[in-house]
Amino acid sequence: MDNLYRDFILEHYREPHNKGVLEPHDLHFADSNPTCGDEMSMTLQLDDAKQRVVDVAFDGRGCAISQASASILTDELRGMSLDELRAMDPGDVVENLGVPIGPARLKCALLSYKVLQGAVIGAEARWPDEADVLAGGSAP
Amino acid sequence: MAVEQLRRDVFDGSALRADFPVFDRPHRSGLPLAFLDSAASAPKPRSVIEAVADAYGHHYANVHRGIYELSEDATARFEGARRAVARFIGAPSDREIVFVRNATEAINLVAFSWGRTNVGAGDLILSTQMEHHANLVPWQQLATETGARLEYVAITDDGRLDLDDLRARLAQRPKLLAVGHVSNALGTINPIEEVSRLAHDAGALVVLDAAQSVPHMPVDVTRLGVDFLALSGHKMLGPSGIGALWGRRELLEAMPPFMTGGSMISKVTLEGTTWAEVPLKFEAGTPAIAEAAGLHAAIDYLEGIGMDAVRAHERFLFEQARDALAALPGVRLLGPESADEHAAVLSFVIDGVHPHDVATVFDHHGVAVRAGHHCAQPVMARYDLPATTRASLYVYNDLDDVERLVSAIRATQTLFGTA
């Protein structure tokens, strides 16, 4: 557990980066974690060509894992192209958290990824296959 | 009052753990398992596990058909389990017990069979804001398909059914009231005798979700005055995959089948089919034969303790846990305060810590609890909570588990810096 709730996770939870709603925005999506009902939304501003992320924010309440995951993920997005966002590997999102995520908390760690995919792909974006993510994700 | 005096009628739950092999399993924390999630599903005593193995090993054949000794043996044991369920809930006849997979299926059976026969466009169905999704979604579906209206009885700030709201809605003369006996999300024990009387006075049938009460307290369908009752075996120390619907015989007799196929027929020709007698009319296909033996053994185990003693034990533990939680800053317990109205289900929030994080920290302290919406999202919405942490107690729990719960809360608050 000391591995899971490391100080930087708790710091992201208490003071998340990129929290709020961007107005105006080009992309918006909201979704919830089906196991707990926690809702998260994300808003993105794009460049003039509507190809790259200029700014991003997430909103909603949730557990330390989902909030830290969203905080860390959104830090990475500025400057990325929409194609890069669509190609993002959910295993990398879990790995970037830097703490071991087991099956019980995987949805918490992936909610931000799911919401981001909804924003760039649309409502047809699906939750990634959990077995694949757990098999591929070699979190430290 | 000294704890020992309070305990006078109560047994030693920790001693019962020896009957449950799961407590021999090493936990990764290195600590003994404090299992506080029985409201989700309960561990099984050795006698239940052995009854299932014995049924498969020595008494197994299909039931209700074979003209040979082994099938007669299997059938007699299957019907013996039905009689045990009937006796356990005070059913007037074992012909009123329909074996199903679980309480969810029992409620769906009523919604499909009774509902689609007796509920039409414009009719009113009542459920409550307190229900488990199992006693809510089937009624939403029924309303959608039939054009009936569905309304929900309100709940109060302290987690009781709002009886004034119930009376007001009953004045519209609904066809049916679907209500839970004990709330899995709040722990509330609803006053079903009174609720049934009010509903019947208004001409409504009562469907009782008793999944959280039958395992934990004496339940008598005649005294409660309900019309249908749903229970799950797995929450009462029995196997998963078996549950029961009890219904008043005249209602069951008048209802069409839910599922059709083998076993549930009287006569089949290519032109048409007549149905078997109740309850077989509702038991299409080969049933859960060995699971019925396991459920019978679970009832024997609970009756060996005595349901009055089970209730007294859990009441004592609830009061101890409630008072211990009240003494912790930053911890809020949902549901009624009085043990008369609150089963041993403690749904609580810890300020500043999400329930999922609570449950993960608890797990690392060897304490198993449920975190989430408990399949009762409207309850969470009612109290503007995303989720709660829920500790639920049963026969194998005792004061040591309450202490483990308190320690785990303190550890969580320390880790998150909220204490």
A4, A37, A104 member nearest B386 (Cβ): A37
- The predicted pLDDT at position B410 comes to 98
Better pLDDT: B322 or A139:
B322
| Fold designation for B49-303 | Aspartate Aminotransferase; domain 2 (3.40.640)
Pick the CATH number of B3-32+307-416 from 3.90.1150.10, 3.90.870.40, 3.30.2010.10, 3.50.50.60: 3.90.1150.10
What angle do the packed helices B355-364 and A64-75 form, to 10 degrees? 110
For residue B360, which residues of chain A lie inside 8 Å, CB to CB?
Answer: 1, 4-5, 104-105
- The predicted pLDDT at position B419 comes to 73
Q: Looking at CA atoms only, how far is residue A51 from chain B in angstroms? A: 35
A5, A36, A65 member nearest B386 (Cβ): A36
Determine the Cα–Cα distance for residues B57 and A117; give it in Å rounded to an integer.
Answer: 52
Tell me if A108 and B356 make a contact (CB, 8 A cut-off): yes
Does pLDDT of B160 surpass 80? yes
Encoded tokens for B29:
């924390």
Q: Which residue in A36, A61, A101 has the most chain B C-beta atoms within 10 A of its own C-beta, making it the best mutation to test that interface?
A: A36
What is the tens place of the pLDDT at every residue in B79-109?
A: 999 999 999 999 999 999 999 999 999 999 9
Region B276-294: what's the mean pLDDT? Answer: 95
For the ranges A81-90, B27-36, B230-239, B271-280, the lowest mean pLDDT is seen at B271-280
Mean pLDDT (chain A) is 91
Region A54-61: what's the mean pLDDT? Answer: 96
Region B137-147: what's the mean pLDDT? Answer: 97
Does pLDDT of B1 surpass 60? no
Tell me if B387 and A1 make a contact (CB, 8 A cut-off): no
Region A26-53: what's the mean pLDDT? Answer: 92
3-state secondary structure chain B: CCHHHHCCCCCCHHHHHHHCHHHHCCCCCCCCCEECECCCCCCCCHHHHHHHHHHHHHCCCCCCCCCCHHHHHHHHHHHHHHHHHHHHCCCCCHHHEEEECCHHHHHHHHHHHHHHHHCCCCCEEEEECCCCHHHCHHHHHHHHHHCCEEEEECECCCCCECHHHHHHHHCCCCCEEEEECECCCCCEECCHHHHHHHHHHCCCEEEEECCCCCCCCCCCHHHHCCCEEEEECHHHCCCCCCEEEEECHHHHHHCCCCCCCCCCEEEECCCCEEECCCCHHHCCCCCCHHHHHHHHHHHHHHHHHCHHHHHHHHHHHHHHHHHHHHCCCCEEECCCCCHHHECCEEEEEECCECHHHHHHHHHHCCEECEEECCCCHHHHHHCCCCCEEEEECCCCCCHHHHHHHHHHHHHHHHHCCCC
Determine the Cα–Cα distance for residues A1 and A5; give it in Å rounded to an integer.
Answer: 6
Tell me if B356 and A65 make a contact (CB, 8 A cut-off): yes
What is the tens place of the pLDDT at every residue in B188-247?
A: 999 999 999 999 999 999 999 999 999 999 999 999 999 999 999 999 999 999 999 999
**A107 and chain B: CB distance < 8 Å anywhere?**
no
Region B154-172: what's the mean pLDDT? Answer: 97
DSSP state, A132?
H
Residue of A nearest to B417 (CA): A10
B221 φ, ψ to 5°? -65, -30
User: Residue ranges per domain, chain B?
Assistant: 3-32+307-416, 49-303
Region B364-384: what's the mean pLDDT? Answer: 91
Q: Looking at CA atoms only, how far is residue B386 from chain A in angstroms? A: 6
Determine the Cα–Cα distance for residues A98 and A107; give it in Å rounded to an integer.
Answer: 16
Encoded tokens for B223:
């005294």
Identify whether the C-beta of residue A14 lies closer than 8 Å to the C-beta of residue A39: no
Identify which of B178, B171, B97 has the alpha carbon closest to the alpha carbon of residue B137. Answer: B178
What angle do the packed helices B192-201 and B163-170 form, to 10 degrees? 20
Determine the Cα–Cα distance for residues B417 and B419; give it in Å rounded to an integer.
Answer: 6
Tell me if B387 and A10 make a contact (CB, 8 A cut-off): no
Determine the Cα–Cα distance for residues A33 and A112; give it in Å rounded to an integer.
Answer: 10
Does pLDDT of B3 surpass 60? no
Tell me if A36 and B357 make a contact (CB, 8 A cut-off): no
The pTM of this model reads 0.91
For the ranges B41-55, B257-271, B316-330, B392-406, the lowest mean pLDDT is seen at B257-271
Identify which of A70, A59, A83 has the alpha carbon closest to the alpha carbon of residue A111. Answer: A70
Tell me if B372 and A10 make a contact (CB, 8 A cut-off): no
* pLDDT category of residue A35 using cuts at 50, 70 and 90: confident
Q: For a pLDDT cut of 90, what percent of chain B falls above it?
A: 88
Region B378-386: what's the mean pLDDT? Answer: 89
For residue B386, which residues of chain A lie inside 8 Å, CB to CB?
Answer: 36-39, 61-62
- The predicted pLDDT at position B386 comes to 83
- The predicted pLDDT at position A1 comes to 54
What contacts B241, CB < 8 A, 6 or more positions away? B101, B102, B233, B234, B288, B291
B353, B364, B386 member nearest A1 (Cβ): B364
Tell me if B377 and A65 make a contact (CB, 8 A cut-off): no
Residue of B nearest to A8 (CA): B416
Identify whether the C-beta of residue B352 lies closer than 8 Å to the C-beta of residue B416: yes
What is the tens place of the pLDDT at every residue in A15-33?
A: 999 999 999 999 999 999 8
For the ranges A8-12, A103-107, B41-45, B293-297, the lowest mean pLDDT is seen at A103-107
**A7 and chain B: CB distance < 8 Å anywhere?**
no
- The predicted pLDDT at position B4 comes to 52
**A63 and chain B: CB distance < 8 Å anywhere?**
yes
Write the Ramachandran bin of A37: left for phi over 0, alpha for psi from -120 to 50, otherwise beta.
left
Identify whether the C-beta of residue A115 lies closer than 8 Å to the C-beta of residue A30: yes
- The predicted pLDDT at position A139 comes to 42
Determine the Cα–Cα distance for residues B67 and B60; give it in Å rounded to an integer.
Answer: 14
Q: Name residue B108's amino acid.
A: N
Identify which of A89, A111, A108, A126 has the alpha carbon closest to the alpha carbon of residue A31. Answer: A111
Q: Which residue in A1, A65, A106 has the most chain B C-beta atoms within 10 A of its own C-beta, making it the best mutation to test that interface?
A: A1
What is the tens place of the pLDDT at every residue in B106-130?
A: 999 999 999 999 999 999 999 999 9
For residue B28, which residues of chain A lie inside 8 Å, CB to CB?
Answer: none
What contacts B45, CB < 8 A, 6 or more positions away? B16, B19, B20, B237, B297, B298, B301
Does pLDDT of A102 surpass 90? no
Determine the Cα–Cα distance for residues A91 and A137; give it in Å rounded to an integer.
Answer: 5
- The predicted pLDDT at position A136 comes to 74
Region B392-400: what's the mean pLDDT? Answer: 97
- The predicted pLDDT at position B7 comes to 55
Q: For a pLDDT cut of 70, what percent of chain A falls above it?
A: 96
Encoded tokens for B189:
């024990």
Q: Looking at CA atoms only, how far is residue A34 from chain B in angstroms? A: 9
**Degrees, nearest 5: CA angle B320-B325-B330:** 175
For the ranges A87-96, B1-10, B401-410, the lowest mean pLDDT is seen at B1-10
- The predicted pLDDT at position B2 comes to 44
Give the Å distances, CA to CA, from A136 to A73, A129, A131, A139, B172.
18, 11, 8, 9, 58
Q: Which residues of B are catalytic?
A: 375
Length of chain B: 419
Tell me if B386 and A64 make a contact (CB, 8 A cut-off): no
